Chains A and B, each alone.
Chain A
Amino acid sequence: MSPEIIQKRVILDMDLCVECKSCGSACFYGHKNQPIIHYADTENVKVPIICRQCLKPACVDSCPNDAMHQDELTVSKRSPEKCTACGSCVRGCPFGVLTDEMIRHNVPKCDLCEARVLEGKEPRCVETCPSGALRFGEVGSVQESKLLLLGTRTIGHHPLKRR
C-alpha cells in the first residue's frame, strides 16, 4: 500500500451477496453505534450501499461547512464537530450512499476504516462478510478477476436482479 494514497476500495460482488447485513452490523459496532451502511430496498434484492470513496467526491464539494473533507490518503470523512446536519452532502452524493435518514445522526460517513487499513487490516465490513461478497481490492483489478465472469450473470433489464 502506498503511504500517500489508499489505492484500494470496498468492492461488492453481487453474485455472492446473501443479503445477511453482517457488513452493516460490523460497521455499526465498529463506529460506536453509528448506522453508516444502509441497504438498497427493491423488490428483488437488498444489497449494501457502501461509499465508493470517490477521488473527486461530490459530498465534499457540496458541504458548506467543510465538515466533509478528503484527507491526504484520499479518504472522504466527516468531522462531527463541524457538521450542522444541513443535508447538502445527502443531496450532493450521486450514488445514494448518504441518505436523509442519516441526518439525525449528523450524517455518519464511511471512513474506509482508515485506522485499520493503516494497520494492514481490511475494513470491518469486508472482514466480517461471511459470503466473501465484499472485497478490499484495487478497482483496476476487478476486470481481471472472476468478478467479471460472475458479473455477466447479472441480467440486464433490472440492474439489481440476479439469477
Chain B
Amino acid sequence: MIPLKNKDTRCSLCSLGCFLRMSQSPHGYLEPDYRKDVPELRRGVCSRGNMTADLLTHVHRVDAARLCGDEARAVPLDEAIRTLAEAIRTSRTTLLIDGNLPAEDIAAGLALAAASGGKIAAGVYLPSEDETVLDGLSASRARMLTPESIAECDALLIVGDAFATHPVLSKPVHALRKRNVRTPLVVVDSLPGRTSIFATHPLLVKPGTESRVLSAIAAALGVKDLGALSRETALAAAESGLAAGQLAAAAAALAGAAQLGVIVRAEIGKAANWDHVGLLSGLIASAKGGGVTACLTYGNALGAYRLARAAGARTERPGETAIVLGTDVVSVLSRQECERVLDGIKTLAAAAQLPTLTLGAADIVLPLAFNFEAGGTIVTGSGEVIHVDSLSDAPGEAVSAGEIVLRLAKVMGLRGMERKVDLQILERMPEVDARAMVGRGQPEVPKARAGELLAVTTSDAIHFHTGGRTGQCAWPSTIAPYPVATLNVKDAAPLGIERGDEVVLTSSEGDGRAIADVVKGQAAGVVAVSVGFAEIRRLFPWKSERRTGPVGVKIRKTGSET
C-alpha cells in the first residue's frame, strides 16, 4: 500500500491545473475524488485527471536504476549517477529537460548547465505548438484569463478544438451561454470538432488558414499595424474557404463586446504558424478589453517556456552524452531524425516514470517520480503560479528530476545547488519581438499535391501513443485502442475505402495505419487523423523545424497496391 500524504492537490497533466482529491479505501486502493470546496466552474476532473491513481500505482512503474550494456542490470541510483558523471567528464553533454516537470526541476537542470563551465548544454523540451503559440501570446502582451473569468466575458473567440483536449473549460463557456444564449461564440477550426458544435458563429476554415481569418477579425475590430499579416475580410474569406458575409458577421458579433475572452488551443497538424495565431489572438483580446487563456499540451508549458527564455536555453545538436529528464524524445521525433540523433550519442541516460521508447534506447535508466509524488510549482495556461502537492511517496528509488540533477552535481563537485526556483521568472512575461513575427507575413496556404489528401489532426485528452503516460493506463486500453482516419464520402469512394477498412497513410515524413471512418460531414480533400498515436504523429514534421501545419498524405486501403 502506498502511503497517502496529502489528499488534495492540483492536476498537472495539462495546463489547466484542475483541483484534484485522492482518497484511499480501507483496503489501500487509491481513488480520485472530487472537491466541493473549489469554485463551481472549476469542479470536475477530465478523463486524464481520473487516471492519476492509476499512474501512481501503475504495475510497470520504473522504480530502480539500470545500466544497460551487453546485459542490463539493476543498480543503486547513486551508482547509475556516478556512471553518468564519468561519461560527462569525457564528452560533450546535452541535457534535455521535459517541460512537464515542476519549475524547480527545470531550474535545477538549467542551473547545472550554467555551473558546468560549458561541459553541459541544456534545453527544455516543449511541443512545437506550445512553444510557438506562447511566442505569439508573449509578443502580444495580452492579459491572461483564468478559466473562471471566462464566464464574466460578454463574447468569446475560440481557436481550435479546446473542449476536446481541455473539457474542463466547457463549464465556464456553458455558464456564459446559460446567462445569455445569444452571447457571441465564434469558433475558428479546420474540423467540425467538439467545440464548434456550440458556436453561434462556427468558422470552419481550410486547414492552415486560421491566422488569415484572425487577421481579418483583428482588422475589423480596429487592431492596427498588422503589417504583412494584415488581410482584407473578402480576401481572408476566399483563402480560408468561408463566405465573406460569414466572416464579416462573426467579426461584427465580436465588435460589440466590452470584454472579449479568447481561448487558444494550439494543435499540431492544424495551423502552420501558431505564433501568428497567438499574437493575433492576444491583440484581438486586448482590443476588446479582454484576455486570453492558452490550452497547452504540457502541464507546465508556460513555466518551462519562461524559465527557458530567461536562461536562453537552446540545444542545437546533441552531444556524445545525452541526458533526457522526463520526456519521451524518441517517440516524438520522426524515424529519420531519431536515427540521426541516436547515432551520434554514445551514452544516453533517460529518466522516466513509466517505460518509454527513450528508456528502451537508454544506456542508463533513472527512476523518476511523478509531479504528484515529488511536488513542485507549475504555471497554468492562464499564468497562475500554483503548487502541486505531493500525494504519496514515490516507489523504490524514484526521485524528482531536480534530485537527480543535485546528486549529479554533487558527484561532479559542483556545490551550492538547490531544488528551488525564482518565482519572479515564472510570473514575468518574456520579451518577444512582435515586429519580427509580423514581418514574416502569412505562410502559404497548405495544399495537397495530386493524389494526396491534406491530413489534419483530431485531439483527445488522452495520449495513446507508445510510451505515453496516460496511454499506458487501464481505461484507455479498453475504449480506443486504434487510431482513426476520417474521410469524406467523395474522397473515400474512388479509393475503394469504406467505413471500418484499415488504411495506410503515407506522408513525406513516414507512414502509419488507421481505421477509416467515412462520413459526409468531413471537408472534401481533408483527412482527419487521431494525433494521440505515435504512428500517426510520425506523419507530421516535428520539433527541430518548428513546423506544425497540415501535411499531404497518400492514403490506400491495406492490401491494395496504390
Contacts and interface: CB of A to CB of B under 8 A. Distances in A.
A128 B33 CA distance: 8
A20 B164 contact: yes
Main secondary structure of the interface of A (DSSP, over half): loop
Interface string A37-70: 0000001100000000000000000000000000
Contact of B479 (A21, A33, A129): A21
Contact of A28 (B48, B167, B195, B478): B478
A25 interface: yes
Interface residues of B, number: 35
Interface in A17-32: 18-22, 24-26, 28-30, 32
A131 B474 contact: no
A96 interface: no
Contact of B44 (A22, A30, A35): A22
A163 interface: yes
B542 interface: no
A4 to B, nearest CB: 26
Interface string B154-170: 00000000011001101
Contacts of B31: 29-30
B449 interface: no
Nearest to B41: A132
Contacts of A19: 194
A132 B43 CA distance: 9
A128 B44 contact: yes
With most chain B CB atoms within 10 A of its CB, the pick from A21, A33, A130 is A130
A138 interface: no
A22 B164 contact: no
Nearest to B170: A131
A130 B171 contact: yes
Given A131-B170, A146-B178, A28 B46 contact: no
A128 B478 contact: no
A16 interface: yes
B482 interface: no
B191 to A, nearest CB: 14
B204 to A, nearest CB: 14
Given A18-B163, A131-B171, A25 B47 contact: yes
A18 B34 CA distance: 19
Nearest to B461: A20
B331 to A, nearest CB: 23
Interface in A90-144: 124, 127-132
Nearest to A134: B44
Given A22-B46, A130-B44, A16 B474 contact: no
Interface in B20-53: 29, 31-34, 43-51, 53
A22 B50 contact: yes
B89 interface: no
A22 B178 contact: no
A43 B44 contact: no
B133 to A, nearest CB: 21
A127 B32 CA distance: 11
A122 B178 CA distance: 23
B528 to A, nearest CB: 13
A137 B417 CA distance: 55
A118 to B, nearest CB: 16
A63 B163 CA distance: 40
Interface in B467-508: 474-475, 478-479
A162 interface: yes
Nearest to A13: B174
Nearest to B167: A20
A132 B163 CA distance: 13
A131 B167 contact: yes
A132 B178 CA distance: 12
A17 B466 CA distance: 29
A18 B47 contact: no
Contacts of B170: 16, 18, 20, 130-132
Interface in B163-208: 163-164, 167-168, 170-171, 174, 178, 194-195, 197
A29 B32 contact: yes
With most chain A CB atoms within 10 A of its CB, the pick from B48, B475, B520 is B475
Contacts of B46: 20, 22, 25, 128, 130
B174 A25 contact: no
B54 interface: yes
B227 interface: no
A43 B521 contact: yes
A35 B45 contact: no
With most chain B CB atoms within 10 A of its CB, the pick from A22, A25, A43 is A25
B167 to A, nearest CB: 4
Contacts of A16: 170, 174
B519 interface: yes
A64 B48 CA distance: 39
Nearest to A38: B479
A29 B53 contact: yes
Nearest to B195: A18
A33 B44 contact: no
Contact of A131 (B51, B174, B461): B174
With most chain B CB atoms within 10 A of its CB, the pick from A32, A128, A146 is A128
A35 B47 CA distance: 13
Contact of A20 (B34, B47, B478): B47
A25 B475 contact: yes
Nearest to A28: B475
A127 B34 contact: yes
B45 A130 contact: yes
A127 B54 CA distance: 19
B446 to A, nearest CB: 26
B167 A130 contact: yes
Contacts of B519: 43
B151 to A, nearest CB: 12
A35 B49 CA distance: 17
With most chain A CB atoms within 10 A of its CB, the pick from B51, B53, B174, B178 is B174
12 contacts: A19-B194, A22-B44, A22-B50, A25-B51, A26-B47, A29-B31, A29-B51, A29-B53, A44-B521, A128-B50, A130-B167, A132-B170
Given A18-B170, A25-B475, 6 more contacts: A20-B167, A24-B479, A25-B51, A29-B32, A127-B44, A131-B167
Minimum-distance CB pairs A-B, first 10? A20-B167, A25-B47, A130-B44, A131-B170, A127-B34, A25-B50, A130-B168, A18-B163, A130-B167, A28-B475
